Amino acid sequence: MKRLWLRLTLAFIAVAVLSAATAALFANQAVGGSFQRYLAQSRLADSGLMEALADHYTRTGSWAGVVDAIGTLRGRGVGAGGFGRAEIIVADAAGHIVLPAERAGQALSDEERAYAVPVQTSAGVVGLALFTTPGNAQFSAAASLFLSDLNRVLARAAAFAALLGALAGLAIAQGLSRPLSALASAARRVARGRLDERVRAGGSQEVAEVAAAFNDMTAQLQAADAARRKAESLRRDMVADIAHELRTPLTVIQGNLQAILDDVYPLTKAEVATVVDQTATLRRLVNDLRELSLAEAGQLKLDRAPQPLGALLERAAQGFRDLFEARRLTLTVDVPADLPLARIDGERTLQVINNLLGNALRYTSEGGRVGVRALRSGPGVRVEITDNGPGLSAEDAAHVFDRFWRADKSRARETGGSGLGLAIARQWIEAMDGRIGLETQPGHGSTFWFEVPAQP
């Protein structure tokens, strides 16, 4: 009984049978009484009593002597087949009994009125007449036969209705259960890991809504699984990148120290300086990772205050000027005099500018140009650092702020980049309620920009 189609089918059959049974009950009650009255009226008409009563009233103008009139009728032999054991009741037009004598003056009961037949003359209805015996026994056989036939017809109708109910129940149940079964099968496949599973939103509106909700759920699960896989891939790549970044300076340190121990290298300041440089690289990498982790966890402590962003740009440019001149690169700075103060952490913003300038220095060919400018941008201040280097493809530009990502991996060791500078820059700018981005095109250079809130 747990199957939906079976329960619906049985419910339809039950409704059909109960409806037929209810119809049979009311039909028996209504038709039974009507048929009894019909038999009574028919018997009175066939007995000749109605004509005799009408003739008597027409001749006498009253019901006096009606007993003699009925006696004459019996004497003619009508009573043998017409009256039998029946008692004759005659009443005037108002329903007051005149025959039998022991009930004279009494009013007809409601049941007797229901079975009474009007006595008609040319003057209209002058009285009422009916046959009666204890329990109306004279009618029971005919009435029972009629009702028996009626019940047989109703029983066949009930069986037919039950069959139609079963067919309708099966059709409706199949229409409901088929999409639900498909939904259950799809859910089992999703449980086995097939997150691309979808179902057709068919059937009733309610079933279609469930199917649509299921499809939305599986789409979200699929997206979440894809995000999880991507995050896991990024985590593996990050661990591999960290291990790779640490391996290089550690290998150099270990190799140099081992060479000194083996007297391959002399214990000189130059050799010690090489080891110190590699430890500095390690320290810088560890510090960068720590800063990045704090920023991503929302635990980065900022010292935000109104700062002249133009002064920070000039300071950063001054620090890079010798490096740019050594590579014959032109560095320009454009800061308007009315540039508003920016609400920033000065030291971290300076580090962001240094990261972007260092990036431009690494990837701009000798004789190239790098321009730095600041401008008002809506409620904030915007900084742009533009170079005429090789530029980046759209695919590379999408990863430029990822950890350990480098546009040219073959040059990474030569330039000393760890691949964390731009990732850290993004986290710091976003921590200051700002934005950072890149506009680039292969062969046409790149523009790194960031926006930070201006001091109100």
Q: What is the mean pLDDT of residues 56-85?
A: 64
Q: What pLDDT is recorded for position 86? A: 57
Q: Residue 450 pLDDT more than 90?
A: yes
Higher pLDDT, residue 253 or 341: 341
Distances (CA, A) of 147 to 124, 137, 157, 208: 35, 15, 15, 50
Please state the separation of Cα 163 from the chain's center in Å. Answer: 37
> H-type helices in 192-204, by residue range?
none
Instruction: Quick: pLDDT tens for 203-217.
Output: 667 777 888 888 888
Q: What is the mean pLDDT of residues 329-340?
A: 93
Higher pLDDT, residue 435 or 239: 435
**Average predicted confidence (pLDDT) for the chain:** 79
- The C-alpha atoms of residue 381 and residue 309 are separated, in whole angstroms, by 8
Q: What is the mean pLDDT of residues 57-68?
A: 82
- The residue ranges of every structural domain in the chain are 4-140, 206-295, 302-453
Q: What is the mean pLDDT of residues 231-260?
A: 77
Does domain 4-140 fall under CATH 1.10.3470? My reply is no
The residue behind tokens 């038999």 is 39
The residue behind tokens 């979440």 is 224
Predicted TM-score (pTM) above 0.75: no
Query: Across-strand partners of 332?
Result: 371
Q: What pLDDT is recorded for position 82? A: 42
Instruction: Quick: pLDDT tens for 77-115.
Output: 443 334 444 578 888 888 888 888 888 888 888 878 877
Q: Percentage of residues in the chain with pLDDT exceeding 90?
A: 16
Instruction: Quick: pLDDT tens for 113-145.
Output: 877 888 888 888 888 888 765 444 444 565 667
Higher pLDDT, residue 314 or 160: 314
Q: What pLDDT is recorded for position 51? A: 80
Q: Give the H or E element holding residue 281.
A: helix 269-296
Q: What pLDDT is recorded for position 203? A: 63
Cβ(88)–Cβ(127) under 8 Å? no
Higher pLDDT, residue 61 or 143: 61
Structure tokens at 386: 């533009």
Confidence of residue 437 (pLDDT cuts 50, 70, 90): very high
- Residue range 302-453 forms a domain whose CATH class is alpha beta
Confidence of residue 311 (pLDDT cuts 50, 70, 90): very high
Q: Residue 32 pLDDT more than 70?
A: no
Cβ(78)–Cβ(48) under 8 Å? yes
Average the pLDDT over each of 274-278, 352-356, 378-382 and give the range with the smallest value.
274-278
Assign domain 206-295 to its CATH architecture. Orthogonal Bundle (1.10)
